[in-house]
Amino acid sequence: MFDQFIALFDDTPFKIIVNSILMAVIAYFVYRWVLEPIYTSFVGMRNFWKLRNRPAAYLEITPPEHSEKSPLATRQLFAILQSLIGKNEVMPLEIDGSHEEGTRYLIRTHPADIPALQRDIASYLPEAQFRVLETQSIPEEITGEYSRVFEIKQSRHYAYPLQPHEELDQSDPATYILGAMTKLKAGEKITMQMVLSPHDSYWTSKLYNRVHSRGYAIIDNKLRHFVLSCPWWVWAITVLYGLFFNDLKATLSLLVLLLIASLFVRREEPELTASQQELYASILAKLGQPLFRADIRVLVSAKSNARLYDLSLGINSSLAPLNTPGYQELYVPRLYPDWFGQKISRGNGL
């Protein structure tokens, strides 16, 4: 058994070391590119599944027409919500629009947490009005003949922030989303659900400390950046060795060793432009706030397929004010043909 294991890495000490390093590199990329995305998707599905058969009540919120809360006050509210969510692990927030009920803000949580949640939000929005709804009073049926459920994702790494909106009296992105949910016809329904769970990871802390200490960090496309930024002598030595000895396996082994050796060579820090400095400052500000993992789904129901398409397009367009051009945007991933698995039979909920 041991001899077979050694044979996998070859029979000489040098080749064993090289092949072991290569296997470790492959294992790392398999973890980051395959296992970690699968785990992330599993956590998202688990968060939705936890909502089933859990005692819950809805807190319906009617916010004031105008709010001038500062970003600091909003961050403090998020910190309170983060501690409250920590008790139940997840908390769904919904914006529900229908012809019969109009547009409503709903927060689903455990009935015992409703009083504390209402006090915290009332401290943030004293003029807001509240109503507690039991789950039985929330209609779950889909009245439209055509329905579609789709997810909303971020186009790039979560560290890249969305467009900030600090002057809400001048530009409030929520008004665009609400605008897409108004003037619905009888039998039409739009529900945007955000399942929040506190996010705290080693990689986030590591990225924050790197940006804080160095002023920048390579956030995505790390492999491409690593290959392109390697010293010229790595490729020169590898090419010359390959031409002289004509041994592909030995050349690749040498390349791996040189790439690893280049990691310990001190490189010059890049000079950031003013726009890049502003970008990393916004990344640092975002990572320094209470972070949430948000799984966002949208239910659209209508009487015709053409109307379903128009309402879905309106919701997608309403998210545009949140996009940061060139860095971050919200989009609907096309994981499969749109006609496959999108129509939902009458009677299924979100």
Least confident piece of the model among 117-131, 133-147, 170-184, 211-225: 133-147
Are 190 and 97 in contact by the 8 Å Cβ rule? The answer is yes
Cα three-residue angle 157-264-215, rounded to 5 degrees: 40
Residue with tokens 């990329």: 29
Are 56 and 111 in contact by the 8 Å Cβ rule? The answer is yes
Contacts of 326 (CB under 8 A, 6+ apart): none
pLDDT at position 170 is 64
pLDDT over 90 at 13, yes or no: no
Range with top average pLDDT, 9-23, 51-65, 177-191: 177-191
Q: Report the C-alpha dihedral over residues 104, 110, 116, 122, rounded to 10 degrees.
A: 0
Residue among 180, 174, 184 at smallest CA distance from 144: 184
Tell me how far CA of residue 319 lies from CA of 4, 85, 322, in angstroms: 56, 25, 6
DSSP per residue over 237-264, as a string? HHHHHHHHH--HHHHHHHHHHHHHHHTT
227 or 112, which is more confident? 112
The C-alpha R_g of the chain, in whole angstroms, comes to: 26
pLDDT at position 61 is 85
100 burial level (CB within 10 Å; 0-12, 13-18, 19+): exposed
Least confident piece of the model among 13-27, 33-47, 242-256, 331-345: 331-345
Separation CA 297–CA 350 (nearest Å): 8
What is the band of 12 on the pLDDT scale with cuts at 50, 70, 90?
low
56 or 286, which is more confident? 286
What is the band of 255 on the pLDDT scale with cuts at 50, 70, 90?
confident
pLDDT over 80 at 335, yes or no: no
pLDDT over 70 at 200, yes or no: yes
Are 302 and 188 in contact by the 8 Å Cβ rule? The answer is yes
> Which 3 state secondary structure label does DSSP give 46?
helix
Separation CA 62–CA 125 (nearest Å): 10
Separation CA 343–CA 122 (nearest Å): 39
